[in-house]
Amino acid sequence: MGSALAYVFPGQGSQAVGMGRDVFESSARARETFLEADSILGYKLSELCFNGPAEKLNDTTFAQPAILTTSVALLEALAESTNGGGGRITIGREPRGVAALPAELRPAFVAGHSLGEYSALVAAGVLTFSDALRLVAERGRLAATKGARGAMAAIIGLSAEEVDRVIADTVPTGMAVVANDNGPSQVTIAGDAESVATVSRALAERGARKVVPLRISGPFHFPAMGRIGADLNTFMRGLSFRDPVVPVVANVSALPHLGAIAIPDALVRHLSQRVEWLRSVRFMAERGASTFVEIGAGQVVNGLVKRIADVRLLNISDRATLSIALRSLRARQGGSPA
């Protein structure tokens, strides 16, 4: 167990114009994934990912399906690149997730940062790609039309406990919260715009090294975003959830989801509760995950993981990094580097 793999997936904020283009051009299965997304959504998500404009790609309604699709396309490219071609992560209505990979490339855990949890659920065979895509598109639509309004900011240099204390001293209960506990000294806060601005000023005075407002359409992991939970739950009743083929470490608990039946409720709580990323990474590392592979646009999650655990970091964000990661993973297992 001391050399186990963890596959981790990025969330909102990782999107960038050009994401996925390279793997779309080099992998038939990645291309199928993007084209399937275009068909399901009824607009050219692929064109938006590859060419922008950035302003539209940053909009929650578009960013959420774009991030999921890019991560799944890269995972499909990984499966395609394995000896014997692997197999599609989803075949028709049957999601196989990482069970489609050769044994030496199957992770012991998967997890996603915030929105990335939906990519992790596809990787674990809980949802087909098409169902996951419909779900994140609906989540983004509900957030944009019925969700909380407000702001988020990244806080560098203070722990979640320290930020919690400043929030309690500064604004009324529930007006601002720690939305993401990203590491020992990096958290994200969310709330109504005025409260986030007030707390941000107070944090700067109390020793935060940096306070960075985030470009978001609405504050996730904030109690008021829970107002869309009932609608999201109703939508999920039309989807098929399966038991994970590999443990999915949940954001809200930092523990593996217990099974298919419990996942929809966890995803509703995910709207309004804190992302326990620090505890999630420690959980995986303490149980033997010594190599973390980030699958998706950029290396945002690896940047967080390296501040939490002394582990090896790989990323798969395009054809070149996929080749490097595959060589490294096979060498690690004593397999062929080809």
Catalytic residue set? 114, 221
Q: Which of 129, 123, 91, 83 is nearest to 107 (CA)?
A: 123
At which residue do the structure tokens 């000294």 appear?
185
Q: Take residue 282 and report the two structure tokens written for it.
A: 């420690």
- Give me the phi and psi of 86, to 5 degrees please: 60, -150
Question: Three-class SS of residue 178?
Answer: strand
Contacts of 12 (CB under 8 A, 6+ apart): 60, 63, 64, 67, 114, 115, 216, 220
Burial code of 241-275, b = ≥16 C-beta within 10 A, e = fewer?
bbebbbbbbbbbbbebbeeeeebbebbbbbbbbbb
Gyration radius of the chain over CA positions: 19
Phi first, then psi, for residue 311 (nearest 5°) are: -135, 165
**DSSP letters spanning 255-281:** SB---GGGHHHHHHHHHHS-B-HHHHH
